[in-house]
Structure 1
Amino acid sequence: MYLKRKIDDYLIKWKQNDERLPLIIKGARQIGKTESINNFAKSNYNNVVYINFVLEPKYKVILGDGYDVESIIKNITLLSPEKKFIAYETLMIFDEIQDYPDIATSLKAFKIDGRFDVICSGSLLGVNYKKIHSNSVGYKTDYEMFSMDFEEFLWAKGYGSDVIEDIFNHMKELKSFSETQLTVFKKTFLDYCILGGMPAVVKRYIKTNSFSDTLDIQNQIRLDYEEDIRKYAEGLDQTKIVSVYRNVPAQLAKENKKFQYSMISKNARGREYTGCIDWLKDAGVVSICYCLNYPELPLKGNYDETKFKLYYPDTGLLISTMDEEAQDDLRANKNLGIYKGALYENFVAEAFIKQGLGLYYYKKDNSTLEEDFLARTKNCLVPIEVKSNNNSSKSLRQLIKNKSYSDIQFGIKLADSNIGYSDNVYTFPYFCAFMIKRYLSDFSS
Structure 2
Amino acid sequence: MKRKISKALADWKNNPKRMPLIVNGARQVGKTYIINQFGREHYSDVLYLNLEIEEQFCLFLETEISPRKIVQYLEAVKGIKVVAGSTLIFFDEIQVSERAITSLKYFCEDAPEHHIIAAGSLLGIALNRDKYSFPVGKVQQINMFPLDFEEYLWAMDRALLSKEIEEHFVSNEAMSEALHAVALDYYRQYMIVGGMPAAVTSFVDTQSFHDVQLIQNGIIQQYIADMSKYATAATSVKIRACYNSIPAQLAKENNKFQYKIVQRGGTATIFGESIEWLQFAGIVLKCQKLEHGFIPVSAYADLSNFKLYMGDIGMLTLHSRIPLQVLLSPVEADNIFLGSMAENYVAQALAAKGVDLFYWQSEGKAEIDFVLQNDDGVVPVEVKKGYLNRSRSLSLFAKRYHSPYAIRISKKNFGFENDVKSVPLYAAFCI
Give the TM-score normalised by structure 2: 0.93
1:439: which partner in 2?
none
Q: What do the CA deviations read for 1:18-42 (whole angstroms, capped 9, x no partner)?
A: 3221111110000000000111111
Q: Report SS of the residue matched to 1:62.
A: helix
The amino acid of 1:351's aligned partner reads A
Q: Does 1:109 align with 2:106?
A: yes
1:295: which partner in 2?
293
Q: How does 1:241-260 map to 2 (within 5 A)?
A: 241-260=239-258
Equivalent of 2:88 in 73, 86, 91: 91
Q: How does 1:44-443 map to 2 (within 5 A)?
A: 44-76=42-74, 80=77, 82-111=79-108, 112-131=110-129, 133-160=132-159, 162-234=160-232, 237-323=235-321, 326-330=322-326, 333=329, 337-365=335-363, 367-389=364-386, 390-400=388-398, 402=399, 405-436=400-431
Q: What is the rounded CA distance, in whole Å, between the counterparts of 1:332 and 1:427 in structure 2?
A: 23
The amino acid of 2:156's aligned partner reads K
Q: What is the rounded CA distance, in whole Å, between the counterparts of 1:255 and 1:55 in structure 2?
A: 46
Q: CA deviation at 1:70?
A: 2.2
Q: CA deviation at 1:328?
A: 4.5
Is the Cα contact below 8 Å between 2:283 and 2:311 reproduced in 1?
yes
Query: Are residues 185 and 81 of structure 1, via their aligned partners in 2, closer, same or farther at CA, if it must alter by over 3 Å?
Result: closer
Is the Cα contact below 8 Å between 2:32 and 2:92 reproduced in 1?
yes
Is the Cα contact below 8 Å between 2:292 and 2:300 reproduced in 1?
yes
Q: CA deviation at 1:47?
A: 2.2
Is the Cα contact below 8 Å between 1:296 and 1:407 reproduced in 2?
no
Q: Report SS of the residue matched to 2:286.
A: strand
Q: What is the rounded CA distance, in whole Å, between the counterparts of 1:216 and 1:71 in structure 2?
A: 44
Q: CA deviation at 1:291?
A: 0.8
Query: Are residues 220 and 351 of structure 1, via their aligned partners in 2, closer, same or farther at CA, if it must alter by over 3 Å?
Result: same
Q: What is the rounded CA distance, in whole Å, between the counterparts of 1:11 and 1:81 in structure 2?
A: 24
The amino acid of 1:416's aligned partner reads K
Query: Are residues 331 and 164 of structure 1, via their aligned partners in 2, closer, same or farther at CA, if it must alter by over 3 Å?
Result: closer
Runs of 4+ in 1 over 6 A off after TM superposition: none
Q: What do the CA deviations read for 1:178-209 (whole angstroms, capped 9, x no partner)?
A: 01110110001111111110000000000113
Q: What do the CA deviations read for 1:206-251 (whole angstroms, capped 9, x no partner)?
A: 0113324101111111121111111112496111111111111110
Cα RMSD between the aligned structures? 2.0
1:442: which partner in 2?
none
Is the Cα contact below 8 Å between 1:63 and 1:71 reproduced in 2?
no
Q: What do the CA deviations read for 1:365-396 (whole angstroms, capped 9, x no partner)?
A: 4x332111111222421111111232312211
Q: CA deviation at 1:11?
A: 1.6
The amino acid of 2:3's aligned partner reads R
Q: CA deviation at 1:62?
A: 2.4
Worse-matched range after superposition: 65-74 or 167-176: 65-74
Q: What is the rounded CA distance, in whole Å, between the counterparts of 1:199 and 1:66 in structure 2?
A: 37
User: What percent identity do the matched residue pairs reach?
Assistant: 35
Q: CA deviation at 1:171?
A: 2.0
Give the TM-score normalised by structure 1: 0.91
Structure 1 alignment gaps of length 5 or more: 437-445
Q: What is the rounded CA distance, in whole Å, between the counterparts of 2:376 and 2:78 in structure 1?
A: 58
Q: What do the CA deviations read for 1:273-321 (whole angstroms, capped 9, x no partner)?
A: 1111111111111111111112222111201111110001110000001
Q: Report SS of the residue matched to 1:418.
A: coil
Q: Report SS of the residue matched to 1:230.
A: helix
- The size of the alignment, in residue pairs, is 426
Is the Cα contact below 8 Å between 1:65 and 1:72 reproduced in 2?
no
Q: CA deviation at 1:362?
A: 1.0
Q: What is the rounded CA distance, in whole Å, between the counterparts of 1:109 and 1:164 in structure 2?
A: 43
Worse-matched range after superposition: 241-250 or 418-427: 418-427
